[in-house]
Amino acid sequence: MIKKLSILIFSILFVFLFFSIKQVAYAEENSTPENIEKTIEELIDSLDFEGVERIYSDTVEKFTDGDDFKSFLFSLIIGENEDGYTDYIQFVLNTFKENVKEKIPVFISLFIVLILCGIISSLKSGTSGSGVMEIAYFATYSIVLCSVVGIGYSIIVKGKNAVDGVASIIQTVFPILLSLMTATGGAAQAAVYSPSAAFICEFIVIIIQNLIFPIVIAVMVLSVLSNINKNVKLKGAIGLCYSIIKWIIGLIIAVFSIFLTVKGLSAALSDGISLRAIKYTINSSIPIVGGVMKDGLDVIMASAVLLKNSLGALSVIMIFGYIIGPIIEIVAISFTLKLVNAVTEPIGDGRTFEFINSISGALNYVVAALLLVSLSFIITIIMMIITSQTII
């Protein structure tokens, strides 16, 4: 009886005490976003970005209202970057217009010579004088050949320089990205992506410079020869060259993408497992402060991963900024060539039309080669960003 009474009294006292507590205790604020920003700033200052800053000032700075590299990278990381889509579109249109304006004298001269070719071909009559007109036509056609081949060759040189430029951007940016990846615990991924960078710089660029561009030049030479005389027929050879280029580009993209995707994902999983193992060890083996140290490690890792991903995104922007100029230039010249060809088709001979069409088609592969090397790099960066999410 007494025992039951004492239990009842203690329960009532306990409930009374529980509901009479008016003090509320707050945990101290961790201020995690500020910690991350501070860590990121320290990381940015500790790294050497000299080469990347040079590339940034050549490619992207004109779009960023004069922000220097480190401020722009920090604004990307914290998400304060404003999207100036209208500026980019305006830049594209202005570059296109300027390139067309610059080439207007060349295209007017081509237009005049094509009109004269047309006059000669329309003056051909009967069989006795046709030999004389054919020679006169050959003389004016030679001028068309020289102009168009000169334009085509200048485009190939621009394409070659642009591919070399992209390769140098890859060689500058990749070591920093790989070292950040290793520092964030992605050692296995770095081991996968390091050969992919070498693959892009060495293999793809060498294939483009030593195989694709010479084949494009061969197509130009074959176009010249096949249209000089009606009896010389080389369209099959030109078609063969186009097929070779298409197969090479398709194979490179397929093999590279499949290899990178499979290897990158599997490496990310193994890195994620090893990092989780490390965190568990820290948390469980170090008494009292193990949990704090694990959180500290998380902050540093998150900052480094943010920095790596933002640097990757900035590299992609720099690549776009670098190749957009040459691509617009090549597209503008190709477009104007096709326009002149279309305007002079009614009055000209079929041979000049076929020749200029063939050259314009060959020049599209210069753009394709430039996009191949740029997209290989961009795919690698995107894979590096995506697969690092599985680590944290």
Partner 1 sequence: MGIYKIIAVGVISAFIIVYLKYINSELTMPVTVCSGIILLLTTASYVYDFIGELKNLTYLSEIDTGVFSIIIKIIAISYLVEFSASLIDDFGLKSISDKVVFAGRIIILTMSMPIVKNLVEVIVDLI
- Closest distance to partner 1 from the beta carbon of 217 (Å): 6
Confirm if 215 and 241 have CB atoms less than 8 A apart: yes
Stretch that binds partner 1, among 90-98, 141-149, 200-208, 285-293 (CB under 8 A): 141-149
DSSP code string of 9-68: HHHHHHHHHHHH----PPPPP--HHHHHHHHHHHHHHHS--HHHHHHHHHHTGGGTTT--
Residue of 23, 46, 86, 125 interacting with partner 1 (CB under 8 A): 125
| Binding of partner 1 by 140 (CB under 8 A) | yes
Comparison of 149 and 316: residue with beta carbon closer to partner 1: 149
Nearest approach, Cβ of residue 339 and partner 1 (Å): 15
Q: Is position 383 an interface residue for partner 1 (rule: CB under 8 A)?
A: no
Look at the chain and count its residues.
392
Q: Is the distance from CB of 209 to CB of 163 less than 8 angstroms?
A: yes
Q: Does 382 bind partner 1 (CB under 8 A)?
A: no
One residue of 135, 254, 255, 292 binding partner 1 per CB under 8 A:
135
Residue with tokens 């995104």: 313
CB of 115 to partner 1, least distance (A): 7
> What's the angle, vertex CA 314, arms to CA 309 and CA 316, rounded to 5?
95
Q: Out of 47, 92, 149, 299, name the contact with partner 1 by CB under 8 A.
A: 149
Site mask for partner 1 (CB under 8 A), range 85-114, x = bound:
-------------------xxx-xx-xxx-
Helix axes 350-388 and 235-285, enclosed angle (nearest 10): 10
Collapsing DSSP to helix, strand or coil, 80 comes out as: coil
CA atoms of 339 and 337, how far apart (whole Å): 5
How many other C-beta atoms are found inside a 10 Å radius of the C-beta of residue 366? 26
Q: Does 292 bind partner 1 (CB under 8 A)?
A: no
**Does position 336 bind partner 1 by CB under 8 A?**
no
- Spatial separation of the C-alpha atoms in residues 383 and 258, rounded to whole Å: 11
Residue 221 makes contact with partner 1 by CB under 8 A = yes
Residue 173, CA distances (Å) to 93, 191, 202, 260 in order = 29, 16, 15, 18
Is 347 one of the binding residues for partner 1 (CB under 8 A)? no
Rule CB under 8 A: choose which of 10, 14, 153, 247 binds partner 1.
153
Q: Is 115 in the site for partner 1 (CB under 8 A)?
A: yes
Which stretches of the chain bind partner 1, using CB under 8 A?
A: 104-106, 108-109, 111-113, 115-116, 119-120, 123, 125-126, 128-129, 131-133, 135-136, 138-140, 142-143, 145-146, 149-150, 153, 217, 220-221, 224
